[in-house]
Structure 1
């Protein structure tokens, strides 16, 4: 691994959605690495303005892309990171690995980015313990529920949310098979029993796996000690050979940072815990996620005026008029100093108002067809709202909603500001326009955050959640 005191960033990461990218940004920044998250590959002028960086990220939306579009996007990213001379190229995926051969294919990502990483090791890190994601003997498990003390752990193909994801349902728990279905024929694995204290067994097993020239090597993860062992592997291989491609959630960044820490190569940034203060003005939250946890968070947001967004009306005939009316219903209270939570109602998606089975099936089909366009429409709504009222703090819930909403704004990057909850970070938005520059923004995936997350976004949060796990 190249010394972080070098001229360019040693670590480059691409987030396949914006929410996950901000989590990786937070982990690297809290580790003392000078890190910036950008919305497009940087040119020389942008890099010169940013100054010296240890890590640079690019937030994207590859999780929603078909293979050809995804390949074009990632070829640009790979070329940009190669030009920067990174030693570790991290393709950041959701901690639940939700993807499919025709949507957000991790296989397509690995095949595309490997063209820019000649290292024989492609490391797939299979879990993130602080988010209660675990990989055991190659199979993925994840928690579900809003209460930390009552969360149950499910095999991913039996998870109450991810097994029913409207776009990329997880119907296979074995990540080796999951990746093979996406075109990676030879996926080897290292199970948790190989993580000996002196790394001898781990390196021996890895050398054996690499003899078959695998498309990728999957590493089990059960706890943070496993991440430290994986970090040492990444460090040795990236330091001694060509740039290394790593795939996984923010656990890749955690492993990388732990290796720097052990080697005494931490950054120079002051990483004292930061507390998020109460917002200085009204807060706007846009919740496009339809997950059960986000539904719990919406119900607990008692300090907000709630504005429902009907997915069918937002994407069907007359959508422009409906959107204009919803924007007016949001902007007026915000101008009056009230907090507003706009959320896509689950009623339309689950067809609860249907009077019989035939009506229910028809309504369900209409709602599902509306989902791909819904994130784009939510992005338009956010752009309209922010064009009419200036805000200091906003929140966006939903991975796809966050990706499209932020891309719709005239902004170019994010920097880490403060922790809010495990897997949820508040960032500062960077833009050339003074109306947007410096805005505090929370991006969260549907399955992330405490039940009171939206209240905490408003009132501030004294705890540093990163230190809880």
Structure 2
């Protein structure tokens, strides 16, 4: 058993993102979907294992229970360090689930101190003076303030985290990080002596995250986005990159999009502008009982098999608000997940062998519908967006699970049309 680090991600695309980060650090990485059990098996000789849950927006007690179960399984598989991966935009409700889950994992591990950093510089996420930035905007000024489930209207990470935990929160500033690993370790010890439990670290570059990862190597529990995970991964001795399953030479290609993020909407617009077949799903019609799934499949069957297709329920903030006003937030989300999960099964049965899925909740619905429990992590098409490889009831599948805000505007067209 070579497993060094076990990771718990709070949604499926976040799991894909952090698995890609470990792979970039040279660790052979497996990704497991949902809470594992005694029948869940890892590929041989994994250095890192990521358990991807759907716990970001569930009630806090459920998120804690699922995360603790995943932690116990990872410990049983040999992991000596647990990394709790959350979104680089610190998506959370005002009362959880980042704080409650981190506290529970630390309690189980007997840990009195942890390090947090959601920075992901390649994706424009940085932390300075404890405030989270999205490119050149504070988080609270960015499009994430319109997030359909967890609108982010505050940029202060200590303030956000303090609302979710009874324990003290402090910051390690950027000048300290720039002084190197020893300076960060000294700052961590000083905070621990002062009774601090959660330390948020500034980071503006990947080099900063490498420093933080090395400083946190001995911590039983570390928390943050994929950038810090890669920094931790670089601190481990490596045994070579993961070997991906062969790229499928046959079969059709499709995109299923449920995310309403600004970047996903750009990617949809670019796909449409490229003249590729696109179909928008009528979520309100589906809620009234119309068989929107059958209509979409009829449309799919008429398309050129040589071209990738896009089927999406994504909508602008105004369109989304109108749907949620009629159905409610939870029911609107459930309709989208049910539609796209069902479509994924039918598309794979119809010969789709390259499937790109946009959105964390959508990705969870798709992998659940396809019965996929574990994948090997392959090469990235864009930072944080790798291809993964699985076997389904209908055959081998190359699967890309994309966080809503990730990927270049041309990702959909480029990933599904470029040769390998």
Q: CA deviation at 1:101?
A: 3.8
Match of 1:63 in 2: 56
For the 8 Å contact 1:191–1:219, the answer to whether it is kept is: yes
For the 8 Å contact 1:25–1:415, the answer to whether it is kept is: no
Q: CA deviation at 1:81?
A: 2.1
Match of 2:156 in 1: 174
Alignment CA distance shift 1:110-1:459 (3 Å): same
Q: Distance in 1 between matches of 2:93 and 2:57?
A: 10
Match of 1:131 in 2: 123
Match of 1:299 in 2: 269
For the 8 Å contact 2:360–2:402, the answer to whether it is kept is: yes
Q: CA deviation at 1:401?
A: 1.0
Match of 1:454 in 2: 412
Q: Distance in 1 between matches of 2:171 and 2:38?
A: 39
Alignment CA distance shift 1:384-1:200 (3 Å): closer
Alignment CA distance shift 1:76-1:46 (3 Å): closer
| SS in structure 2 at match of 1:372 | helix
| SS in structure 1 at match of 2:132 | strand
Match of 1:420 in 2: 381
Q: Indicate yes or no: 2:181 matched with 1:199.
A: yes
Match of 2:326 in 1: 366
| SS in structure 1 at match of 2:222 | strand
| SS in structure 2 at match of 1:171 | coil
Q: CA deviation at 1:138?
A: 0.6
Per-residue deviation, residues 344-389 of structure 1 (Å, max 9, x unmatched)? 1526x6249xxxxxxxx86661265343313422343334423540
For the 8 Å contact 1:277–1:459, the answer to whether it is kept is: no
Find 1:99's aligned residue among 83, 92, 104. 92
Within 5 Å, which residues of 2 pair with 1:171-320?
Answer: 171-197=153-179, 199-235=181-217, 237-238=218-219, 244-260=220-236, 265-269=237-241, 280-301=250-271, 302=274, 304-314=276-286, 316-319=287-290
Q: Indicate yes or no: 2:299 matched with 1:329.
A: yes
User: How many residues are paired up?
Assistant: 416
For the 8 Å contact 1:378–1:405, the answer to whether it is kept is: no
Q: CA deviation at 1:303?
A: 5.0
For the 8 Å contact 1:311–1:367, the answer to whether it is kept is: no
Alignment CA distance shift 1:379-1:351 (3 Å): closer
Alignment CA distance shift 1:51-1:176 (3 Å): same
| SS in structure 1 at match of 2:56 | helix
| SS in structure 2 at match of 1:52 | coil
For the 8 Å contact 1:8–1:53, the answer to whether it is kept is: yes
Within 5 Å, which residues of 2 pair with 1:395-414?
Answer: 395-414=356-375
Q: Distance in 1 between matches of 2:115 and 2:101?
A: 13
TM-score, with length taken from structure 1: 0.82
Within 5 Å, which residues of 2 pair with 1:97-176?
Answer: 97-101=90-94, 105-143=97-135, 153-159=136-142, 161-176=143-158
Gaps of 5+ in 2: none
Alignment CA distance shift 1:362-1:156 (3 Å): closer
Q: Distance in 2 between matches of 1:384 and 1:199?
A: 48
| SS in structure 2 at match of 1:95 | coil
Q: Distance in 2 between matches of 1:11 and 1:430?
A: 25
Find 2:6's aligned residue among 9, 12, 20. 12
Q: CA deviation at 1:282?
A: 2.5
Greater radius of gyration (CA): 1
Gaps of 5+ in 1: 1-6, 144-152, 239-243, 353-360, 463-469
Q: CA deviation at 1:258?
A: 2.3
Q: Distance in 2 between matches of 1:167 and 1:43?
A: 29
Q: Distance in 1 between matches of 2:374 and 2:324?
A: 37
Q: CA deviation at 1:89?
A: 0.6
Q: Distance in 2 between matches of 1:100 and 1:25?
A: 25
Per-residue deviation, residues 425-449 of structure 1 (Å, max 9, x unmatched)? 1111244x3x14x311111112111
Match of 1:350 in 2: 318
Alignment CA distance shift 1:124-1:419 (3 Å): same
Alignment CA distance shift 1:290-1:68 (3 Å): same
Alignment CA distance shift 1:56-1:430 (3 Å): farther
Give RMSD over aligned pairs.
2.6
Per-residue deviation, residues 220-253 of structure 1 (Å, max 9, x unmatched)? 1111221121122112x34xxxxx1111111122
| SS in structure 1 at match of 2:352 | coil
